[in-house]
Amino acid sequence: MSIFYAPDRIATMHEDEGSTPDKLQVMLDVIARSVPSAESGQADFGRLRADAAKAAGVLIEFYGDEALERAKLIERRSPQSHFARMVTAEIGRRGKRS
């Protein structure tokens, strides 16, 4: 079982949704790091976009055609996360180019 940080809550990837490989865990760790803390102020938007692109790439590599649905699942589990929305949007853009 793997968990990732979402503002004001912790969401869990349940085992019935499949195991979490190392690359997917790295992507979830990126999500956790992307949330700005009160001390650091606002996160660097350019870095956030780059991290979202990396996370989208990992989801696409792992889930293939199901990546957009998985991104939407993560977004629903962390509705306050701008980063989750960015990942979903990036996967949507990549899907339109294919």
pLDDT digits (tens, 9 = 90+) for 24-46: 777 777 766 665 554 454 557 78
How would you write 49-77 as a 3-class SS string? Answer: HHHHHHHHHHHHHHHHHHHHHHHHHHHHH
> What is the model's pLDDT at position 92?
93
Domain ranges of the chain: 2-97
Q: How far is CA 41 from CA 8, 37, 38, 44, 98, in A?
A: 17, 6, 6, 9, 37
pLDDT in tens, 60-79: 988 899 999 998 988 888 87
Mean pLDDT of the chain: 73
| Token pair for 36 | 């700005």
In the chain, what percentage of residues exceed pLDDT 70? Answer: 60
40 CB contacts (<8 Å, ≥6 apart)? none
